[in-house]
Every structure is written in C-alpha cells, then in structure tokens.
Amino acid sequence: MAERVTLVAEQRGRVVAAAHLLRYGAGDEVGPAFRGSGGINWLLFWPRANYWRDSEEAAGALMGACLERLRSWGSADHWNADGVLPAPGVYGMPAQWPHVRELYERAGFVHDGHVEVILLARVDELPGSSAPPLAGLAVERSVGECGTRLTARLGEECVGFIEVETNLAEGGRLAHLGGWADVGNLHVAEPYRRRGVATWLVGQAADWLRLARADRLLAYAWPEEHDLLGLLAHLGFRELTRTARGWPHGSAPGASPEANATPAHRPRPGPS
C-alpha cells in the first residue's frame, strides 16, 4: 500500500457520503494483480429519501472527487472499485446496495467478475459431533490455509477437510466481530461424496467453534454450485445476500483483482 485517503461529502452539516481510496505501489514487492493500481475500497451514501432528496447529488460530487484523485495518482488504466467494509461478509457489491451500484456504473465501473452467495448459520443449530459415517474414519486437527483445518482420514488417506477461521475480530481490533467465524474451505474427495462425510466434518467443526465461543458461522458459494448450496441449506445455513465481485473501470475491463477470485479467497475487513 503506497497511499490511502478517505473523502466525505457534507450537506447541511451532515455527512451523507464517504469513500475510502487505496493506491498500490508499482514495485516488484506488490503482487501483479494490484501493482500500480488505484481504486475505491468502499463507497457509501444515504439513498434518496423523502426527508433528504438531494443526497444523490452529494454522492455524485463525491464520485467526481474520487475519480479526480485516481487520475492524480496516475493509475488511469488500472482502476478498481469494491465495497469492503469492516463487517462480516460485506465486500463486492451486495444486492442491498442498488444505489451504490448505479453510482459506480454511471462513473464507468463495470461488473466484470462473478457473483457470490453469502450464507450464515448459528453454530448452536449446526449438527453436533456424531459417529463417523465410515468405519475407521478419524479427524485430525492442524493449521490450514484459511484457519483451523479438520481433516477426515481413513488410515493415511485424506477423505476430506474443512477449514474454519475464528479470528475475524483480528485479535480484538474489531471487537464487534467477536463470536463470528467463517468457512475457508470445505472439500470431500470424489469417491467419498454423498456418504455423509461433509456433514460429519461440519459437525466436528461446529464442536470446535463452540469451544472457541464462536456462535455464528459464515459460508460462501457460487450460484452454480448447486450441490454445495443444497448441502449448506440442509445443515442450517441461510442465504444472507448475493454480492457482485470484480469492478474494474471501463477503460480496462477484466483488470480487477477480484474478478478472478474464488469463494475460498475473500477479502478480510479493510481499513476504515
């Protein structure tokens, strides 16, 4: 990160719109997806209301200031936009923000990525630990790529695994995220699918989360992952929202780092 700035728009003594912008360096120490880029990390404004009819004008002025700042950074061929907030599961362009999406589109940003389904379950409503669905199946706990990994093994064979991250509060820095966790990865080897392994793994993870005092668990999927969505619904997950990821500026479509992201690689809450 080379530079960051927060811009706000005020009307009649009240902040009605705000945006947080990021500029990345151009050196080799920056990953190629972000190198030399600039973007809107998040932008929010009050939607039009009967008691505040001109908030959209303030948002338009704010967007103009954002674009001017991006131009001043010299990254005109590599602009991105997102909606990453320091809140659970808020990133991309959630379906609940149609007014923000419209503002982005008017400014020349285009959706060039995919849509993710964000789901939520209460940990106390998830299955508990139960007898293994396969004789000899055992669970092994280790450090994973996205949190604690619980691996189902038959002897030396890895049958499947689940990873859960319980540090969404970032060591207490974001206290309002205490008690939240999310699923980083869930995978079952093809020969062992539809045999209860995934349900058993989620039950093992739920017991671990109860020990960690986590009471809400987020999960993520793409709309076309029908089997995964069916499994999550069966386990007690409820759909919270769908969010559109990948918003490069129209001058360079396809350049957004989020455009090729997968549900297993989600942004953590960003600076506010």
Q: How confident is the model at residue 88 (pLDDT cuts 50, 70, 90)?
A: confident
**pLDDT-wise least confident of 101-105, 202-206, 218-222, 246-250:** 246-250
User: Does residue 130 fall inside a structural domain?
Assistant: yes
Q: Which range marks the domain in which residue 72 is found?
A: 3-114+245-260
Task: Write down the pLDDT at residue 32.
Answer: 85
* 81 lies in the same domain as 126: no
Task: Write down the pLDDT at residue 269.
Answer: 38
| Greatest mean pLDDT among 172-176, 210-214, 231-235 | 231-235
* 99 lies in the same domain as 126: no
For 144-183, what is each residue's pLDDT tens digit? 998 899 999 999 999 999 999 987 656 655 666 678 899 9
DSSP character at residue 128:
-
Q: How much of the chain exceeds pLDDT 90, in percent?
A: 68
Number of domains the chain contains: 2
* 233 lies in the same domain as 249: no
Task: Write down the pLDDT at residue 174.
Answer: 62
CB 45 within 8 A of CB 99: yes
d(C-alpha 176, C-alpha 10), whole Å: 27
Tokens of 171: 């060591």
What would the mean pLDDT of 72-86 be, rounded to a whole number? Answer: 84
* 18 lies in the same domain as 104: yes
User: Does residue 272 fall inside a structural domain?
Assistant: no
**Domain CATH code at residue 32:** 3.40.630.30
Task: Give the residue among 120, 57, 135 at the shortest CA–CA distance from 90.
Answer: 120
User: Does residue 265 fall inside a structural domain?
Assistant: no
* First-last CA distance in the chain: 14
* 182 lies in the same domain as 168: yes
* 77 lies in the same domain as 176: no
